[in-house]
Amino acid sequence: MLQGKTALVTGSTSGIGLGIARALAAQGANVVFNGFGDSTEIEAVQNRVRSEFGVQAAYHNADMSKPAEIEAMMAYAAERFGAVDILVNNAGIQHVASVEDFPVERWDAIIAINLSSAFHTTRLALPAMKARNWGRIINVASVHGLVGSAQKSAYVAAKHGVVGFTKVTALENAGTGITCNAICPGWVLTPLVQKQVDARASERGLSNEEAKRSLLSEKQPSGEFVTPEQLGELAVFFCSPAASQVRGVAWNMDGGWAAQ
């Protein structure tokens, strides 16, 4: 379905971004990976999509907190593949603390990586999408783009911002072939969440399994984690012709979290 298209997925060396990048590659899209990690592992990730799906893969190490590096990444993608047809703004970090104890540097980093980077990639991707009158912008927000949780002020503020930015981008392009939508996952067992599981296990003297169950039972009625593969399939749907009139939505896949 996506042969000949190019997808750029920020923060795709791990977790949800990797799941989405692989799902788009499985549909034939070439992929530009981004994110941090071990260079051998990043090379292996690219080689896997090349051999499993017969697509081209590339990687840029831009730090999403740095607008100049984001510009360099977008220029690299355009030079390598012509243009970015599918932009997935996924890179994100978390920090857990009460408002009065929240480190100012962590606040600034979360707003830059989880929110402002989507503005920078989007503003740079739109001209080529407009020239082709086709584009898909998918913002990985969170259920925390829809509801709040204590101790996560910067994250919740950034993710609500992403949902707002998604709506405006969708509206400004509503008369074109470019759609913009947000995905709002509940708990997904990635390194970002494993850190929170580990913290809970050590604070409460729980095993890893007990800490996972305890985390899920507080917020996610299904009692099960959402998977990166499931989120990848939702991203594929947003890229399909059937979704061409899905515009500006914040679509949760959260085991029932936001239904409560």
Q: Could you give the residue numbers annotated as active site?
A: 155
Q: Residue 41, Cβ neighbours under 10 Å: how many?
A: 10
Report, in Å, the least distance between residue 181 CB and ligand NAD. Answer: 15
Region of 15 on the Ramachandran plot (φ > 0 left; ψ -120 to 50 alpha; else beta): left
19 or 135, CB closer to ligand NAD?
19
Strand partners, 138: 88, 181
- Identity of the residue, 113 or 126, whose beta carbon is nearer to ligand NAD in the bound complex: 113
Please report how close the Cβ of residue 28 comes to ligand NAD at its closest, in angstroms: 23
Least separation, in Å, of the C-beta of 119 and ligand NAD? 14
> Smallest distance, Å, CB 34 to ligand NAD?
6
Residue 152: strand, helix, or coil: strand
Instruction: State which residue, 55 or 182, has the beta carbon closest to ligand NAD.
Output: 182
User: Where on the chain is the footprint of ligand NAD (CB under 6 A)?
Assistant: 11-17, 34-37, 63-65, 90-93, 113-114, 140, 142, 185, 187-188, 190-193
| Contact between residue 93 and residue 63 where contact means Cβ atoms under 8 Å apart | no
Inter-residue contact 207 to 259 (CB < 8 Å): no
Strands (E), the chain: 6-9, 30-34, 57-60, 86-89, 135-140, 178-185, 250-253
Which residue, 132 or 192, is less far from ligand NAD as judged by CB? Answer: 192
* 49 vs 26: CA distance, rounded Å: 8
- Six token digits for residue 23: 């799902």
Token pair 């939702």: residue: 234
